[in-house]
Chains A and B, each alone.
Chain A
Amino acid sequence: MTEALHWLEKAVLRSLYELGGAASYEELAAKAVSTVPGWGRDGVSMLSSVAKACGWLRDKGYVTVEEERSRKFVTLDAEGEEYVVKGLPERRVVEFLQRRGGEASIDEVKALERADVGLMWARRRGWVEFTKKNDATMVVLKGPVPPSTDVEDFLRELKRDGEVEVPDAGALREVVDELLRRRHVVKLVERPVRKVVLTEKGREAASLLEETVVPEVTRLTPELIRTGRWRELKLSRYDVRAPTPPVFAAKRHPLTELIRMVRQAYVEMGFEEIEGPIVELAFWNFDALFQPQDHPAREMQDTFYLLEPRAGDPPAQHVEAVRRVHENGGDTGSKGWRYKWSLEEARRLLLRTHTTATTIRHLATVKQPPVKVFCVDRIFRNEKVDWKHLAEFHQIEGIVVERDASLRMLMGVLRDFYSRLGLREIRFKPSYFPYTEPSMEVEVRLGGRWLELGGSGIFRPETTYPFGVKHPVLAWGLGLERLAMVIYGLEDIRTFHLNDLGWLRNVSPFQAFRTMRGM
């Protein structure tokens, strides 16, 4: 069985077979007109198609292509083109003299375009001669001038055919030689002549082919459809397995994908989304959360304080209550931290170190339960950045205020939250934060290991009482990037903001979903 051949290959093979097994490209192109009905309306493109098909056939072993000799062709050059339109310069001299009654002064003739060349050739052909008349040199017509010469006929032929092969000898060869002597009239082109010869394999394949070949096209163009010409053609078969250039689906950032899943889980659980400032007052970020002013987390090496603007305005209505709770516990039943609280320190501006600053702000405005709010937003820590630490990342924040809120309920909410993300194994560990008591560390099992995902707890009375909230407040702030790293199988946390398109284009939007549901 012969392998699948392109229709051009079939056409060449069949033509070659009919031409006796050996032919030039030109002969093949001429023959193909009959082999392929309806093809070859433009000879030039046929020749190149034949040459292309011969190349393919040679590679597959159906034909051999031999270079025989080179053939010479002439084509019109710039002045040749001009002569076809305006006539040869000598013809122009003669026609001028004929209009002037057979003679004119040399000066008049010299005014003609290309007069020198014209005069030289007219004299050489014996069409004119020079005479003296009253000291002036005159050009005079002499003898019969033929209406057209071989040279002129040849130029017209050349114009019509584009190129003409140069014969080895004969009259035509003399004409060509004359034109080659006259510069810029014609150009000589040498072209190798190739002979295509059927191999045994080719002969066998060709004998099995139909006598006629239906032309095929690769591209179905609008024009083919409009004119109905597609009916005469065959649409070629493709190698449907061949590799194709890549295209990339535009998509959300992997971190956003996870944030969207988190938001959805929260909304399903009846939580309302809130947002708060990124540039925050130390008051909300620390003081309102009962972090003593000398707490290590407040030091310069952990928190980004602002140089400009340096200080803001804490809410006057809350300042005194917060001061009291720090200094002596106020009316909360606490000992307080027992130091002198400074308003100046609370005025300092910083980049918030946790989204809990946003939830305590919200608590200050909404005092009555039930409250369930959340946010997923940026936080900042003044850290040296490396493969496992960022100075800017995200926190998953939430609070529940309910009459009967308890540690068990906090566990229930967190378990529900993570199970909605597909993470069903969760455990808790005692922890410490200045603003929650009891406090819990949350760990979730993913990819065969326990991941510490963040802190949670019940807000201390020292945190809630100054804002008039007397009910227990369940609160948590969980890491987003740590979870995302495991989901996307990353080793380096910086991947999330380096935005390597190589990664972004390859990561699947189904990845988060699949990993967490264990699919």
Chain B
Amino acid sequence: MPVVNIDVEKLRRLVGRNLTLEEISDNLAALGMSVEETGDILRVEYNPNRPDFSSVYGVAAALRSYLGIETGLRKRSYPLSGISVYVDKSVEDIRPHIVCAVVRNVELSEAELIEFIAMQEDLHWIIGRNRRKTAIGLHDISAISPPFTYKAVDMDEVRFVPLKDYRAMTPREVLSKSEIGRKHAWLLKDASKAPVIVDSRGQVFSMPPIVNASITELTPGRRDIFIDVTGTDWEKVNQALNILADAFADAGGAVQRVKVVYGRRAFYTPDTKPLEMTLDMELVQRLTGLQLSLREASKLLRRMGMEPRVQGKRLRVLYPRHRADILHPVDLVEDIAIAYGYNNMTPVAPQSNTYGSLRPQTTFYEKVAETMLGLGFTEVHNLMLTNEQTHYQMSGLDEIQHVTLANPATREYTMVRTSLIPSLLTTLANNTDNLYPQKIFELGDIIQLEPAAPEKTVRMKRLAAATAYAEAGYSEAKSVLDEVFKLLQLKPEYIPATMGTFIEGRCAALTIDGSQVGVVGEVSPAVLENFGIEMPVTIFEIEIDKLYKLQQLYRAE
């Protein structure tokens, strides 16, 4: 979850109430945020569907309306700046959208500047998906002269000094030589041209989504700022711009609109015209379970910063443009529920009468586990994730087709197990310091390849048990198996078998009606050595889901 750092004093000032820390914490929780660390600066987690919470300004705005200080849709009408940005056709295939704003006369302390840069980075992540969908540039406007042009240039066509550097570079050099350029180069890896914004003198001041030019670098003080937001998604660039512009306005800046000209079409951004959606009261009542009147629902929506208008039995709800998370009336219902307060609702019980049941397999496996307990085996639980080294090389199993992972974060997990035997050996290896005898079992899943299944695989349940102590031997393991099968009312045959895991001549395959259902044997000392186990070990593994099916079959007969 994204995190925003909030200066408590500033929040109190912006909200206009001297809230206690507890009140702040409770109200933020009611809005879906959680305070992770308290102090003068709060560390607050928020949900990614509310990027407007990425600054103290957005959080304060939400609190003001939630607390009833200033409810309804906030009036945001920004005057024109007189500045235009011309969009060249050449960006169409690379990064087609740009929206801009100007902020005049905003006083930024060093701390506030850091705040805005942190906000910018958060928006890059949450809305921009790491700058891919949207990237934001903040510029000191004093160094550049409008109008501006957004265009794509050849990689070696222009030169500028990128931010945090002193050398003039071409876009190609920026991507390969500058620190910031290298970090974000992947964003343009398929592009043959580089998008840039140039001023009326042809001076490059931005190369979105990679880096700004150093000439427009922002420093603390009273400033005039130019904001550019470029991207691949029209709605998202607008969302990011509006959130930023509103935050600057709340920080004391005078936000002005910029004319963005696409050939013969022109827009003025930020576009603050609210969005609207019709909400049926029946849906509100059904989903919340609250018998709310139109008036009550309207009041609640106003506390979420929206403007409802009653239309018969419905509400026409105006909401700010940055609420891109609202796709469907159910999203407005959630806002009503949040305003009502989740913990103010009285829980109710389901009305329908249903009968509970376990899967018959679960009941069967529980009986099997009970049997193993009766035989003195303790249950262990292992992961299905493993690697070829442990699963095959160390345990002596023959490699069979298995699920392999495309992108594991650790080299420890590269595949999904096909047998429980390596799992039990690993468990014994983890326990060489504990008292013997050790008798353990696992009832766990494995995955096998199955080309006929839509998922190309099938999960299977296995039972495996291991015995480790000085006297552990084949005959004891077979006695245990005999007992298990006796209780299952099945008669297996023990067929001599050869497996790398087991000592030659001390390994058997178990079959029922000619079909293999398991293996048993004394683990070979070479394998024990691989796992660092210094006790004789016997292991058996049974395909317990096959036995479940066999039992069903015999019952049917």
Contacts and interface: CB of A to CB of B under 8 A. Distances in A.
A6 interface: no
Interface string B329-371: 1110110011000110111111111111111011000100100
B449 interface: yes
Given A273-B362, A278-B459, A430 B342 contact: yes
A53 interface: no
Given A304-B405, A378-B445, A430-B334, A270 B328 contact: no
B390 interface: no
A251 to B, nearest CB: 6
B272 interface: no
Interface stretch (B145-153, B281-289, B310-318): B281-289
A408 B409 contact: no
Given A415-B347, A430-B338, A500 B353 contact: no
A336 B459 contact: no
Interface string A262-289: 0100111111111101111100000000
Interface in A363-384: 369-372, 378, 380, 382-384
Contacts of B381: 253, 255-256, 496-497, 499
B376 interface: yes
A305 B407 contact: yes
B390 to A, nearest CB: 13
B47 A430 contact: yes
Contacts of A314: 454
Contacts of A251: 373, 378-379
Contacts of B347: 408-409, 411-412, 414-415
Contacts of B30: 429-430
Given A300-B407, A329-B327, A392 B383 contact: yes
A305 B454 contact: no
Contact of A329 (B328, B375, B410): B328
A135 interface: no
B264 interface: no
Contacts of A431: 32, 47
B378 A332 contact: no
A391 B410 contact: yes
Given A270-B355, A430-B31, A432-B49, A279 B331 contact: no
Nearest to A401: B352
A272 B356 contact: yes
B438 interface: yes
Given A250-B376, A430-B32, A499-B382, A278 B343 contact: no
B459 A279 contact: yes
Contact of A385 (B32, B410, B453): B410
B142 interface: no
Nearest to B340: A407
Interface string A478-519: 000000000000000000111111101100000000000000
A409 B405 contact: no
A407 B335 CA distance: 13
B34 interface: yes
Given A263-B362, A306-B405, A406-B287, A270 B354 contact: yes
A411 B430 CA distance: 42
B356 A391 contact: no
A266 B350 CA distance: 13
B420 interface: no
Given A269-B356, A272-B356, A429 B342 contact: yes
Given A300-B407, A309-B449, A312-B456, A408 B345 contact: yes
Most buried by A among B30, B343, B453, B457: B457
Contacts of A280: 455
A266 to B, nearest CB: 6
Nearest to A302: B409
B116 interface: no
Contacts of B351: 402-404
Given A307-B404, A332-B328, A462-B328, A500 B385 contact: no
Interface residues of A, number: 104
Contacts of A266: 356
A16 interface: no
B148 to A, nearest CB: 28
Most buried by B among A274, A280, A336, A351: A351
B285 to A, nearest CB: 8
A423 to B, nearest CB: 14
B415 to A, nearest CB: 9
A13 interface: no
A411 B349 CA distance: 8
Contacts of A383: 409
B362 A438 contact: no
A272 B406 contact: no
A402 B413 CA distance: 41
Contacts of B31: 430
A487 to B, nearest CB: 15
Contact of B455 (A349, A372, A472): A349
Contacts of B379: 250-253, 256
B117 to A, nearest CB: 22
Contact of A369 (B29, B352, B362, B454): B352
Contact of A333 (B328, B349, B350, B403): B328
A461 B345 contact: no
Contacts of A349: 455-457
Interface in B452-467: 453-459
Contact of B357 (A273, A294, A458): A273
A329 B327 CA distance: 9
A307 B406 contact: yes
A509 to B, nearest CB: 10
A392 B385 contact: yes
A429 B29 CA distance: 6
Interface in B41-69: 47-50
B416 interface: yes
B330 A408 contact: no
A250 B348 CA distance: 42
Contacts of A411: 342, 345, 347-348
B427 interface: yes
Given A279-B457, A370-B352, A407-B287, A499 B409 contact: no
B550 interface: no
Given A279-B457, A502-B434, A438 B287 contact: yes
Nearest to B355: A270
Nearest to A308: B404
A26 B69 CA distance: 107
A416 interface: yes
B431 interface: yes
A147 to B, nearest CB: 58
B39 interface: no
Contacts of B361: 275
Given A270-B353, A296-B129, A407 B407 contact: no
Contacts of A277: 455, 457-459
A196 B405 CA distance: 79
Contacts of B392: none
Contacts of B373: 250-252
Given A280-B455, A501-B378, 14 more contacts: A250-B373, A267-B357, A272-B357, A277-B455, A301-B409, A304-B413, A307-B406, A312-B453, A334-B328, A351-B405, A403-B351, A409-B347, A413-B349, A461-B328
5 tightest Cβ-Cβ pairs between the two chains A and B: A406-B289, A370-B352, A430-B32, A408-B289, A267-B356
26 contacts: A251-B373, A251-B379, A253-B379, A268-B356, A271-B354, A272-B354, A281-B454, A304-B406, A304-B407, A312-B455, A329-B328, A336-B327, A372-B352, A372-B356, A392-B385, A400-B350, A404-B351, A406-B287, A408-B289, A408-B345, A412-B348, A416-B349, A432-B47, A441-B32, A461-B330, A472-B286
Interface of B: 29-32, 34, 47-50, 129, 133, 235, 286-290, 325, 327-331, 333-334, 337-338, 342-343, 345-359, 361-362, 366, 369, 372-385, 403-410, 412-413, 416, 427, 430-431, 433-435, 438-440, 445, 447, 449, 451, 453-459
